[in-house]
Amino acid sequence: MKTVPKMLPGDRVELRKRRGAFFTPLPIAEFLVDWALAGAPEGSRVLDPTCGEGVFLLAAAENLRRRGVSAADMAGLLYGVDLHEASLRETRELLGAAGPGAELRIADFFDQPTPAQPDAELPWMDAVVGNPPFVRYHDHRGDARKRSVTAALRQGVRLSGLASSWAALLVHAASFLKPEGRIAMVLPAELLTVGYAEPIRRWLSARFARVHLVLFDELQFPDADEQVVLLIAQGTGGCDAFGLHQVRDATELRSKHLFDADPVALGAPEDKWTDLLLPVDRRNLFRRVTAQAFTGLESYGRPELGTVTGANSFFTLSEKTRKDYKLPPRHLLKIVPPGARHIRGTSFSRGQWEELREAGQRVWMLHPEVDKPTGALATYLAVGEHLGVPDAYKCSVRSTWWRPPAVSTPDLFFTYMSHTSPRLVSNGASATIVNSLHGITLVDDAPGVAQDALPLLTLNSATMLGAELYGRSYGGGILKMEPREAARLPVPSPTVLVDAWGRLRPRAARLGGLVRAGGWREALSEVDDVLLHQTIGLSLNEVAALRGATTRLRQRRTRKTSSDDG
Report the percent of the chain where pLDDT is more than 70: 87
Question: Using CA atoms, how far apart are residues 81 and 338, in angstroms rounded to an integer?
Answer: 48
Asked whether residue 329 falls in the same domain as residue 384, the answer is yes
Asked whether residue 363 falls in the same domain as residue 506, the answer is no
Listed residues 371, 406, 441: the one ending a domain: 406
Tell me the sheet residues that pair with 82.
106
Q: Print the domain residue range for 477.
A: 278-303+410-566
Closest CA to 22 of 11, 30, 35, 32: 11
Closest CA to 524 of 470, 484, 562, 467: 467
Asked whether residue 299 falls in the same domain as residue 260, the answer is no
CATH of the domain at 234: 3.40.50.150
Asked whether residue 145 falls in the same domain as residue 267, the answer is yes
CB 342 within 8 A of CB 415: no
DSSP state string for 367-436: ----SS--HHHHHHHHHHHHHTGGGSHHHHTSSSTTS--PPPPPSEEE--EESS---EEEETT--B-BTT
- Answer whether residue 530 is part of any domain: yes
- Answer whether residue 402 is part of any domain: yes
Asked whether residue 469 falls in the same domain as residue 368, the answer is no
* pLDDT one-digit tens code per residue, 134-193: 754 444 456 777 888 888 888 988 887 777 888 899 999 999 999 999 999 999 888 887
Asked whether residue 441 falls in the same domain as residue 508, the answer is yes
Asked whether residue 66 falls in the same domain as residue 215, the answer is yes
Mean pLDDT for 413-430 is 93
Please tell me the total count of domains within the chain: 3
Amino acid 139: pLDDT = 47
Asked whether residue 225 falls in the same domain as residue 195, the answer is yes
Asked whether residue 481 falls in the same domain as residue 552, the answer is yes
Q: What's the pLDDT band for 11 if we cut at 50, 70, 90? A: very low
Q: Is 478 helix (H, G, I), strand (E, B) or coil?
A: strand
Asked whether residue 397 falls in the same domain as residue 525, the answer is no
- Answer whether residue 49 is part of any domain: yes
Asked whether residue 258 falls in the same domain as residue 311, the answer is no
Report the percent of the chain where pLDDT is more than 90: 58
Asked whether residue 253 falls in the same domain as residue 288, the answer is no
**479: enclosing H helix or E strand:** strand 478-480
DSSP strand pairing (78-82 vs 103-106): parallel
N-terminal to C-terminal alpha carbon distance within the chain:
47
pTM: 0.74
Task: Give the contacts of 472 (CB within 8 A, at least 6 positions apart).
Answer: 190, 193, 194, 195, 272, 479, 480, 481, 482, 485
Helix, strand, coil content of the chain in percent (nearest 5): 45, 15, 40
- Ranges 148-162, 415-429, 455-469: which has the least confidence: 148-162
* pLDDT one-digit tens code per residue, 537-563: 999 999 999 999 999 888 878 865 444
Q: What's the pLDDT band for 224 if we cut at 50, 70, 90? A: low
- Ranges 68-72, 408-412, 467-471: which has the least confidence: 68-72
Per-residue pLDDT for 236 more than 90? yes
Amino acid 16: pLDDT = 42
Closest CA to 154 of 135, 175, 133: 175
Listed residues 391, 406, 421: the one ending a domain: 406
The overall average pLDDT reported for the chain is 86
- DSSP-derived letter for residue 186 is E
Per-residue pLDDT for 20 more than 50? no
Listed residues 406, 430, 453: the one ending a domain: 406
List strands edge to edge, sheet with 177-188. Answer: 103-106, 78-82, 46-48, 125-130, 177-188, 228-234, 210-216, 241-247, 263-265
Amino acid 277: pLDDT = 77
